[in-house]
Structure 1
Amino acid sequence: MISFTDLQDDAALMSLEYQLRLFDVVGLAAWKMNLDEARFELTSPDNVVTSCTDVQILGTSAPGPQSWLWVWADPSGYREDILRAANEARAFGERHGIPELTTPEVPFASLPGSPTDPVAAASLMMEATKAATGRYTGYAGEVGGGTRAGFLLDHPDFRLPEPEFPRFSRVLQQGTAELRFYNQRRGIVSYAQRRGYDIAHNGPVTRISCAAASANIRFDEQNRIVAMSINNESVRVPTQTNP
C-alpha cells in the first residue's frame, strides 16, 4: 500500500530540484493563465516571457471553506486537455486506496499537520500529485481572496540537465535540512530512483551515486539521517554534514 505521506516523501527531493531549475530559468516570475486557450505564461523580472508547452490545473485551495477542491469536481467546465494530471492522480488514488486523491473536496483538517494556510494545503496536494503522475514542475498561483490554484507545468527549459556536483549537493543538503519527511530513507531512495542514480545498501548506510557525485548516508532505526558525506567524483574531496 502507498499512503498520502509516502507520496510526500517520494516527491520531496525531486520536486525541490525541479523548483530550483524553474527558478534558474524564470526567477521570481509573474504568471498569467488563459484557461480558454490553455496557455500559461511566466514573465521573468527581465520581462522574458516563457509560454509553457503544457499546463495542467489540479484544483484550488481556499481559506473560507478551509478545503482543497479537485478540478475534476469543479463545475466550471475546464478543457479536458488541462485536466489530465488531476484525472491521473484520481486514478492513482483509486488503485492505491488514497482518499486525498479521490475525495472531491478535501478538508485541510484531514491533511497531515492539519494546515490552515491555503498555500501549505495546496503544496501537500501538489506534491502528492507530482509523485503520482511523474510531473514535477509546479506553481501555486493566487486567484483572489487568498485562494490558491495548483498547476503543473512543462517546458523544455524546465527539464533537468545532467547531474552536476553543486546541484546534487545542494538538493541533498538543503532538502534534508529544510523539508519535512515522514521517512527520510524512503525520500532519499525515491529521489535516487527517479533521478536515475545508482543505489547500494550496506546495513544502515545507503549510497547513491552518478558520474558527477556520490553520497553515503547513514540512517538510524527510525530511518532518520544521522550522518552524510557527499563527494565530488571529479576531484574526490568529501564534504561532511551531520544533520
Structure 2
Amino acid sequence: MITFADLQDDAALLSLEHQLRLFDQVGLAAWSTNLDEARFELTRDDGTTVACTDVQLLGSAAPGPRSWLWSWANPTGYRDEVLLAANEARKFGEQHGIAELATAEVPFDALPGAPTDPAVVASHMMEVTKAVTGRFTGYQGPVGGGTRAAFLIDHPDFRLPGPEAPRISRVLQQGLTELSFHDQRRGVDSYARRRGLAVTHDGPRTHIAGPGLTVDIRFTEQNLFGGMSVHMGDKRVPPQYISGN
C-alpha cells in the first residue's frame, strides 16, 4: 500500500534536481499565465521570456478556508488540457485509497504535519503529483488574498540531461541534509532508480553507481541519513559531504 507520505519521499530528490535545473535556466524569474490559452511564461531578469510548452494547473491553497482545492473541482472551470495532471492524480488516489488526491477539497489539517502556510501546502500537493505523473518541474505562486496556486510546467530547456556526477552528488548531499523526509532511504532509492542509476542495499548501507560516480550512504535503523562518501572518477569528495546522526 502506498501513502501520501511515500509519494512525498519518492518525489523529493528528483524534484530538487529539476528545480535546480529550472533555476539554471531562468533564475528568479517572474511568471504570468493565461489558462484560457493554456499559456505559462517565465521572464528572466534580462527581460527574455520562456514560453512553456505545457502547463498543468494542480489547484490552490487558500488561507481563509485553510484548505487545498483541486483544479478539477474548481467551479471556475478550466480547459481539459490544463487539468490532465490533476485528473491523473485523482485517478491514482482513487485506485490506491489516497484521500488527499481523490478528495475535491482537502483541509490543511488532513495533510502530514498539519501545515498552516498555503505555500507549504501547495508544495506538498505539487510534490506528490510529480511522483504520480512523472512531471517533475513545478512552479507555485501567489494569486491574491494569500492564496497560492501550484502548476507543473514543461519546456525542452527544463528537462534533465543524463546523470552527471557533480550534479547527482550535489542533489544527494543537499537533499539529505536540507529536505524533510518520512523515510530518507526510500527517497534515495526512488531517486536513484528514476535517474537510471544502479542501486543496491547492504544492511545499513545503500550503494549507488552511475557514470563516473559511486556513492555509499549509511542509514540508521530508522532509515535516517547517517553519512555519505562519494567518489567521482578516481577522486573521493572531501569529508565535508559526510554528515552523521
Tell me the TM-score range normalised by the shorter chain: over 0.9
Task: For residues 26-54 of structure 1, give each alpha carbon's deviation from its aligned partner in whole angstroms, at most 9, with x where no partner exists.
Answer: 00000010111101000011111000001
- Contact in 2 for aligned 1:163/1:212 (Cα 8 Å): no
Aligned to 1:242: 243
Aligned to 2:92: 92
Secondary structure at 2:36 match in 1: coil
Secondary structure at 2:182 match in 1: coil
Aligned to 1:83: 83
Q: Which runs of 4+ in 1 moved over 4 A?
A: none
TM-score by length of 1: 0.97
Aligned to 1:140: 140
Task: For residues 44-91 of structure 1, give each alpha carbon's deviation from its aligned partner in whole angstroms, at most 9, with x where no partner exists.
Answer: 111110000010000001011110000011111100000000000001
1:212 Cα offset (Å): 2.6
Secondary structure at 1:24 match in 2: helix
Matches within 5 A, 1:1-243: 1-233=1-233, 235-240=234-239, 241-243=242-244
Secondary structure at 1:152 match in 2: strand
For 1:159 and 1:42, locate their aligned partners in 2 and report how far apart those are by CA, in whole Å: 15
Task: For residues 139-160 of structure 1, give each alpha carbon's deviation from its aligned partner in whole angstroms, at most 9, with x where no partner exists.
Answer: 0021111111100001000000
- Contact in 2 for aligned 1:231/1:239 (Cα 8 Å): no
Q: How much is the aligned-residue C-alpha RMSD, in angstroms?
A: 0.9
Give the total of aligned pairs.
242
For 2:215 and 2:24, locate their aligned partners in 1 and report how far apart those are by CA, in whole Å: 24
Secondary structure at 1:81 match in 2: helix
Amino acid at match of 1:103: T
Secondary structure at 2:152 match in 1: strand
Secondary structure at 2:77 match in 1: coil
For 1:225 and 1:180, locate their aligned partners in 2 and report how far apart those are by CA, in whole Å: 11
- Contact in 2 for aligned 1:61/1:122 (Cα 8 Å): yes
Amino acid at match of 2:10: D
Amino acid at match of 1:237: R
For 2:186 and 2:147, locate their aligned partners in 1 and report how far apart those are by CA, in whole Å: 32
